[in-house]
Amino acid sequence: MDDAIRIRLDRPHDLLAYLPYRFGYVPTESLAVLAVLEPEPGTLAVGLAARLDLADLADPQLLVAARAGVVAQMATDPTALAVTVLYTDAGFADVRAGTALGGRVLAAWLDGFPYGDPTLTLVASRTRFRCLECAEQPCCPDDGHPVERLAETAVAAGMVLAGEVLAESREGLACPRDAEPGRARTAARAARRQLAAMDAHDVEQRSRWRTRTLDAFGRLLAQAVPGAGGSPPGAAVLGRLGAALADPLVRDVVVAWCLGGRRYGPGSPHVLEVFEGVVAGALRLPDREHLDAATAVLAQIARHAPPGGAGYALAVLGWLAWWRGEGARADVLQRQCVEEDPCCRLGLLLGQLLDGGVRPGWARPPAVVAPHPR
Strand pairing category for 121-124 and 79-87: parallel
pLDDT tier at 257 (50, 70, 90 boundaries)? very high
Task: Give residue 222's pLDDT.
Answer: 93
Q: Which residues are CB-neighbours of 300 under 8 A, at least 6 positions away?
A: 220, 232, 233, 238
Task: Give residue 15's pLDDT.
Answer: 86
Taking only the tens place, the pLDDT of each residue in 314-367 is 999 999 999 888 889 999 999 999 999 999 999 999 999 888 877 776 544 445
Closest CA to 292 of 274, 328, 317: 317
pLDDT tier at 136 (50, 70, 90 boundaries)? confident
Asked whether the predicted pLDDT for residue 275 surpasses 60, the reply is yes
Helices 203-224 + 288-304 axis angle, to 10 = 120
Closest CA to 68 of 102, 25, 33: 33
Highest mean pLDDT range out of 275-279, 300-304, 364-368?
A: 300-304
Amino acid at 150: L
Number of Cβ within a 10 Å radius of residue 112? 12
Mean pLDDT, residues 68-92 taken together:
92
pLDDT tier at 192 (50, 70, 90 boundaries)? very high
Number of Cβ within a 10 Å radius of residue 148? 8
φ/ψ of 191, rounded to 5, equals: -65, -45
Task: Give residue 363's pLDDT.
Answer: 45
pTM of the model: 0.80
HSE-CB at 239 with a 13 A cutoff on CA atoms is 21
Task: Give residue 208's pLDDT.
Answer: 94
> For residues 113 and 33, what is the distance between their CA atoms, to the nearest angstrom?
11
Asked whether the predicted pLDDT for residue 1 surpasses 50, the reply is no
Strand pairing category for 30-40 and 43-53: antiparallel
- If one compares 258 and 358, the residue with the highest pLDDT of the two is 258
Mean pLDDT of the chain: 89
Task: Give residue 361's pLDDT.
Answer: 61
Mean pLDDT, residues 197-215 taken together:
92
> For residues 197 and 170, what is the distance between their CA atoms, to the nearest angstrom?
39
φ/ψ of 286, rounded to 5, equals: -70, 175
Mean pLDDT, residues 139-159 taken together:
90
Choice among 41-45, 147-151, 265-269, 288-292 with the minimum mean pLDDT = 41-45
Asked whether the predicted pLDDT for residue 285 surpasses 80, the reply is no
pLDDT tier at 369 (50, 70, 90 boundaries)? low
CA distances from 184 to 177, 181, 237, 307 (A): 10, 5, 12, 10
Amino acid at 135: A
Asked whether the predicted pLDDT for residue 54 surpasses 80, the reply is yes
The answer to whether the beta carbons of residues 255 and 244 sit under 8 Å apart is no
The answer to whether the beta carbons of residues 187 and 306 sit under 8 Å apart is yes
Q: What share of the chain is helix, strand, coil (3-state, %, to 5)?
A: 55, 15, 35
> For residues 214 and 254, what is the distance between their CA atoms, to the nearest angstrom?
8
Instruction: Tell me the Cα Rg of the chain.
Output: 23
Taking only the tens place, the pLDDT of each residue in 221-251 is 999 987 767 778 999 999 999 999 999 999 9
Q: What is the 3-state secondary structure (H, E, C) of 66-97?
A: HHHHHHHHHHCCCEEEEEEEEECCCCHHHHHH
CA distances from 150 to 54, 125, 159 (A): 23, 12, 12
> For residues 369 and 44, what is the distance between their CA atoms, to the nearest angstrom?
5
